[in-house]
């Protein structure tokens, strides 16, 4: 992690889609001047499970995974975050240690906003406070969905759904591939299964024409069938 070129919040392209959309110009100015811009190389860890961060990151470019380590040290990916997303706020707001680690799936530029600034905004700007609450409550609903899926769906169903989630989260590159590079193991850590099971099932999906696979480049060819296989209703 090293200091990056400073980016001004007032002129940030992502502002309207970030959690800071509810701040007025003087507040934005304050965030902008209290923050630090940092750079993480692919694979670097932004935040460590169990630690106590002193602020949050607002992602500017890049993609990250948020994961917990299970009993055998196996990582379980809880969700992804990308540019415009705030990460690390859960621990800060609940006053607990970090419940998950965050690492960069690709080179990432992020802005570190100190705890004091975040809390000041929450206390003085009801709009921002409500937006944050809305965000956490939405996440809580998503977590409930994931819990039900992990408990009740087969690996095959979950893989189909995960492919759809990845597509929804990161979209497609110019060639139509899912716009993120994940190892088979990472996909397995999202699905909650063994790497080999992901490989076999992906291969089945390929044979059935649902996806095209060229190494880590995966194309979602048949959304409807994946929805059907994954029993995705929402």
Task: Choose the contact partner of 185 out of DNA, a second copy, none; CB within 5 to 8 A by kind.
Answer: DNA
Of 157 and 179, nearer to a second copy (C-beta) is 157
- Which partner from the list a second copy, DNA, none does 45 bind, CB cut-off 5 to 8 Å by kind? none
Quick one: the chain helix, strand, coil %, rounded to 5? 45, 25, 30
Subset of 173-232 contacting DNA (CB under 7 A): 183-185, 192-197, 199-200, 202-203, 213, 215-216
* Measured CA distances, 26 to 9, 10, 29, 115, 144 (Å): 11, 9, 5, 18, 37
Contact 98, 50 (CB under 8 A): yes
Nearest approach, Cβ of residue 189 and DNA (Å): 11
Nearest-approach distance from CB 72 to DNA, in angstroms: 8
The one of a second copy, DNA, none whose footprint includes residue 200, by CB under 5 to 8 A per kind, is: DNA
For DNA, what does the binding mask look like between residues 81 and 100, x meaning CB under 7 A? --------------------
The yes or no reply on residue 29 touching DNA (CB under 7 A) is: no
Between strands 86-87 and 211-214, the pairing is unpaired
Residue 154 interacts with DNA (CB under 7 A): yes or no = yes
**136 SS3 class:** helix
Name the residues that contact a second copy, by CB under 8 A. Answer: 68, 70-72, 74, 76, 78, 89-91, 93-96, 99-100, 122-123, 126, 129-130, 132-134, 136-141, 143-153, 157, 192, 231
Question: Longest C-alpha distance within the chain, in Å?
Answer: 56
H helix intervals, the chain? 25-34, 89-94, 115-124, 126-152, 155-170, 184-191, 195-207, 223-229
């Amino acid at each position: 992690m090293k200091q990056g070129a400073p980016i001004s919040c007032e002129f940030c392209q992502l502002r309207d889609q970030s959690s800071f959309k509810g701040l007025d110009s003087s507040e934005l100015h304050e965030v902008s001047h209290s923050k630090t811009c940092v750079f993480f190389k692919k694979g670097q860890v932004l935040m460590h499970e169990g630690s106590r961060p002193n602020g949050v990151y607002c992602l500017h470019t890049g993609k990250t995974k948020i994961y917990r380590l299970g009993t055998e040290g196996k990582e379980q990916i809880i969700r992804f975050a990308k540019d415009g997303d705030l990460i690390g706020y859960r621990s800060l707001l609940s006053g607990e240690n970090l419940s998950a680690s965050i690492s960069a799936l690709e080179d990432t530029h992020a802005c570190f906003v100190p705890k004091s600034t975040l809390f000041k905004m929450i206390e003085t700007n009801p709009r921002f406070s409500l937006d944050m609450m809305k965000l956490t409550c939405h996440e809580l609903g998503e977590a409930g969905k994931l819990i039900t899926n992990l408990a009740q769906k087969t690996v095959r169903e979950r893989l189909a759904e995960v492919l759809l989630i990845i597509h929804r989260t990161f979209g497609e590159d110019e060639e139509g591939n899912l716009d993120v590079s994940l190892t088979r193991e990472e996909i397995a850590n999202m699905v909650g299964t063994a790497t080999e099971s992901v490989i076999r099932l992906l291969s089945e999906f390929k044979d059935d024409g649902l996806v095209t696979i060229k190494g880590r480049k995966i194309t979602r060819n048949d959304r409807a069938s994946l929805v059907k296989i994954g029993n995705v209703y929402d």
